[in-house]
Amino acid sequence: MDGRILRTVAKLGRASVHVSPVALYDGKRFQGMLEQVHNPSVNEPDGVLEMYEAFARVHPYAAKKIAALNPQPVDLEHGLCVGRYVRRLMKAYNRIQKMGAYQFSPKDMMSGFIAGMVHDIGCWCDTNSCGHAKRGADFISNLVVASKWIQTLAYGVENHHAKLAECVTEQMFQVLPLILAEGVVEGEQWVMDGLVTEGMNDEVKDLFICLCNLEHMIPPLAVVRLRHREHGLRSELAVRLRCDKDQRFEPFLLRFAQVDARGRPKPISLEHRCLIGRGHPDYEGCERVVVDLLSEAVYARLFKDYEGLIAVYQRLLSKDRGVYEKV
């Protein structure tokens, strides 16, 4: 992330404060099942069936063994959703990386998609979900013992419930899109909010930020760029304050800097007018993009004290519905 953001955050200590799948293809029967699952209304040419057929051509014996498990449409549908999201997340990550940074290759995307399709193979057909990741990985690993690619799929299946903090190696980082996609498809926002507290390196952080923006989600401790269409290239920076568990779905944003057309941030005084939330015109009427995630230490030093403003803000709202025109 842009170092200028953290430098601006650091200046706040001196700011004045007022208040502040597999695409299994085994003849017409299997292709028919896949076509039932495939949503024809989705125009994205992701080549789902082509991927399935390619796998079956390269590993026909493996495809038949997987087909023998008789996966139900619900199994394939879930795998398809996860596999597609894995590729979508990888593409989003590649778009924000600078020259020379790590990029997911087409082979990575193919592997990620297939791993997404079969990630729950260990509990297909209502098999007990307990230990399904290891059970599914062992099944895939034994399909083609001499295939390094098959072993890569098995590794992804085995680790699709790993924690973000464990994704410190390149091999684990390649599994991360699968971990996050599974969280999106199966989880709720509070699950994703909890991920940010696990600690992560810069690569993991960038991928998580891509996820946040794909899902229009603002986790606690996130630095957000707010941009109003009528303001041209000018924007503001805000941080999402942490709030009580009962309010975890209510993002309260504390604006702390203004950014000019050249991208130069300027700290502003922190006062009650800087706090906005859902329903406020300055929140609803702007584009919100997560650009960074603060560490616990930086957040505690610079923003934690402002969490008390949330209760004040809510009391103001409860007394006067027109408070948005006043703050």
Q: In this predicted structure, what is the pLDDT of residue 286?
A: 85
Per the prediction, the chain carries an average pLDDT of 77
Q: In this predicted structure, what is the pLDDT of residue 197?
A: 53
Q: Is the confidence at residue 28, as pLDDT, over 70?
A: no
Can you tell me the mean pLDDT for 33-58?
Answer: 58
What is the tens place of the pLDDT at every residue in 263-318? 777 877 776 578 888 878 888 888 899 988 888 888 999 899 888 888 877 777 66
Given pLDDT bands bounded at 50, 70 and 90, which one contains residue 29? Answer: very low
Q: In this predicted structure, what is the pLDDT of residue 243?
A: 82
What is the tens place of the pLDDT at every residue in 239-257? 999 887 666 678 899 998 8
Q: Is the confidence at residue 226, as pLDDT, over 80?
A: yes
Given pLDDT bands bounded at 50, 70 and 90, which one contains residue 96? Answer: confident
Q: In this predicted structure, what is the pLDDT of residue 198?
A: 57
Between CA 216 and CA 204 the distance in angstroms is: 18
Q: In this predicted structure, what is the pLDDT of residue 100?
A: 74
Say which range, 22-36, 136-150, 223-237, has the weakest mean pLDDT.
22-36
Q: Is the confidence at residue 17, as pLDDT, over 60?
A: no
For the chain, helix, strand, coil in percent to 5 are 60, 10, 30
What class does CATH assign to 27-214?
mainly alpha
Any idea where the domains of the chain sit in the sequence? Answer: 27-214, 218-325
pTM of the model: 0.76
Higher pLDDT, 50 or 107: 107
Q: Is the confidence at residue 154, as pLDDT, over 70?
A: yes
Q: Which amino acid is at 198?
A: E
Between CA 15 and CA 91 the distance in angstroms is: 39
Given pLDDT bands bounded at 50, 70 and 90, which one contains residue 327? Answer: very low
Given pLDDT bands bounded at 50, 70 and 90, which one contains residue 11? Answer: low
Can you tell me the mean pLDDT for 102-126?
Answer: 89
Given pLDDT bands bounded at 50, 70 and 90, which one contains residue 27? Answer: very low
Contact 113, 86 (CB under 8 A): yes
Higher pLDDT, 43 or 111: 111
Q: Is the confidence at residue 189, as pLDDT, over 60?
A: no
Print burial letters for 215-250: b (CB count within 10 Å at least 16), e (below 16): bebbbbbbbbbbeeeeeeeebbbbbbbbbeeeeeee
Secondary structure in 3-state letters for 201-245 = CHHHHHHHHHHHHHCCCCCCCEEEEEECHHHCCCEEEEEECCCCH
Cα 128 to chain centroid, rounded: 28
